[in-house]
Copies of this chain bind each other. A is one copy, B any other.
Amino acid sequence: MAIDMKLVHDPIHGGIELDEFAVKLVDTPEFQKLRRITQLGLAFLVYPSARHTRFEHSLGTYHLARLVSTRNPEIEEGVVYAALLHDLGHYPFSHTLEALYPKHEENTRWLIKHGGIGDILEENFSLREFEGLLKNPLVSGDIDADRMDYLVRDAYYTGVAYGIVDLERLVRNLCWDGKRLILLEKGIMAGQNLLLARSMMYPTVYQHHTARIAGTMLVKAVELEGIPLEEIRFMDEVDLVAGLRMSEKPEVRELIKAIDERKLYKHVFLSGEDPGEEAIEELRLELEAEFGHLVLVDYPPKPKFEERNAFVLVEGEVKRLSDVSPLVRALANVGESYWRWGVYAREDVKEEVQDALEKLL
């Protein structure tokens, strides 16, 4: 990599300048692996152009964190490297497999402690210290470098306009008060826009119902294959897909082939009313007893859009963004309205599943 990678070209931010230590981190196998972890998982089955990866997103997050840090020199220097590495622990197809394994944030911390990248970090930080940096509001807050990058990037690659956010106004107006990022008055609208954008990208892209079907199929394949955490945490998408294609279990091979060829299961049922986890588990058991892997019950966690810690400065006073914006306040009611659970089935058994389901519900 060396010299010529110090400036990385990116269609979102133009030139991203990496300092020497960032180059060292980027030059590790762990970080290069992110090139083979799709940013939006299986969303490319709906938005074919959404092929960007955690690699670019991580560089972009670093870039934005650096811009904010440069304007706020009191922010701890290491935060930009935390921004760079915040997604290191993503599994193949990003959030998809978090249904089976610990959240990627936990895996990020594990990889930092156990991988070669930790040795590099220890040249400048204690690992305990670095773990703290990962929680800095600039890396994981309501209005942070992570969200700023992914909303704009995901909008760019999907062509869905809702994610467009005024990065420059945010960067210019984010102010560090020693423990919090505070948005100055001229940036409030841009901050509100970011939270609204996120809520609109959710049903349109992040939880698009077709991508959810494909994701649920993949989860089932991985579950059937029984890949242990110690393996999946080192895998990229080549490892995973090739492994599933060569599985000894015909169901697993069938599922990955169906994803590869976009022969997706069909909706049998979709509902915004939550019967409770217990009822769902019961249903799942009954359906699987009858149909095996040909039926899938998808019960995703409920999204939360309300802002909890977005601070703004209004007429000299620090307030929560939700206190000054009726629209941000309204986000508290939005999550519920987008949530759906569903039952999916292979096309040829769709009707039988429908019949069975009607008896069960």
7 contacts between A and B (CB under 8 A): A1-B262, A1-B264, A8-B48, A14-B168, A32-B261, A33-B260, A161-B165
**A45 CB, min distance to chain B CBs, angstroms:** 8
Contact B48 A210 (CB under 8 A): no
**A136 CB, min distance to chain B CBs, angstroms:** 24
Q: Report the Cα distance A240→B5, complex, angstroms.
A: 26
Instruction: Determine if A329 is an interface residue (Cβ-Cβ < 8 Å).
Output: yes
Q: Report the Cα distance A249→B158, complex, angstroms.
A: 40
Instruction: Determine if A331 is an interface residue (Cβ-Cβ < 8 Å).
Output: yes
Q: Report the Cα distance A159→B7, complex, angstroms.
A: 13
Contact B55 A52 (CB under 8 A): no
Among the 9-residue stretches A96-104, A139-147, A197-205, A294-302, the one with 4 or more Cβ atoms under 8 Å from chain B is: A197-205
Instruction: Determine if A241 is an interface residue (Cβ-Cβ < 8 Å).
Output: yes
Q: Report the Cα distance A52→B164, complex, angstroms.
A: 20
Among residues of B, the one whose C-beta sits closest to the C-beta of A327 is B330
- Besides A15-B168, A48-B55, 7 more A-B contacts (Cβ < 8 Å) are A1-B264, A9-B49, A11-B49, A51-B52, A162-B193, A325-B337, A326-B334
Instruction: Determine if A59 is an interface residue (Cβ-Cβ < 8 Å).
Output: yes
How does the 8 Å CB contact mask read for A228-254 relative to B, with 1 for contact and 0 for none?
000000000111011001000000000
Set of chain B residues within 8 Å of A56, measured between Cβ atoms: 48-49, 51
Instruction: Determine if A189 is an interface residue (Cβ-Cβ < 8 Å).
Output: yes
How does the 8 Å CB contact mask read for A330-358 relative to B, with 1 for contact and 0 for none?
11011001000000000000000000000
Q: Report the Cα distance A349→B168, complex, angstroms.
A: 36
Number of copies of this kind of chain in the complex: 4
How does the 8 Å CB contact mask read for A2-20 relative to B, with 1 for contact and 0 for none?
0010011111101100000
Instruction: Determine if A286 is an interface residue (Cβ-Cβ < 8 Å).
Output: no
Contact A27 B210 (CB under 8 A): no
For the complex of A and B, the 5 pairs showing the least CB-CB separation, nearest first, are A242-B242, A11-B159, A330-B330, A326-B333, A51-B51
Contact B166 A160 (CB under 8 A): yes
Instruction: Determine if A156 is an interface residue (Cβ-Cβ < 8 Å).
Output: yes
Instruction: Determine if A268 is an interface residue (Cβ-Cβ < 8 Å).
Output: no
**A252 CB, min distance to chain B CBs, angstroms:** 15
Set of chain B residues within 8 Å of A241, measured between Cβ atoms: 238, 242
Q: Report the Cα distance A4→B51, complex, angstroms.
A: 20
Residues 168-212 (chain A) with a chain B CB within 8 angstroms? 168, 172, 189-190, 192-193, 196, 199-200, 203-204, 210
Instruction: Determine if A35 is an interface residue (Cβ-Cβ < 8 Å).
Output: yes
**A360 CB, min distance to chain B CBs, angstroms:** 22
Q: Which of A1, A11, A27, A33 has the most CB of B within 10 A?
A: A11
**A156 CB, min distance to chain B CBs, angstroms:** 7
Q: Report the Cα distance A9→B166, complex, angstroms.
A: 12
Q: Which of A49, A160, A196 has the most CB of B within 10 A?
A: A49
**A230 CB, min distance to chain B CBs, angstroms:** 19
Contact B327 A199 (CB under 8 A): yes
Instruction: Determine if A157 is an interface residue (Cβ-Cβ < 8 Å).
Output: yes
Q: Which of B9, B260, B330 contacts A32, CB < 8 Å?
A: B260
Set of chain B residues within 8 Å of A72, measured between Cβ atoms: none
Known contacts: A210-B4, A242-B238, A326-B334. The answer to whether A161 contacts B166 by CB under 8 A is: yes
Contact A164 B164 (CB under 8 A): yes
Contact B168 A162 (CB under 8 A): no
Known contacts: A11-B156, A166-B162. The answer to whether A200 contacts B204 by CB under 8 A is: no
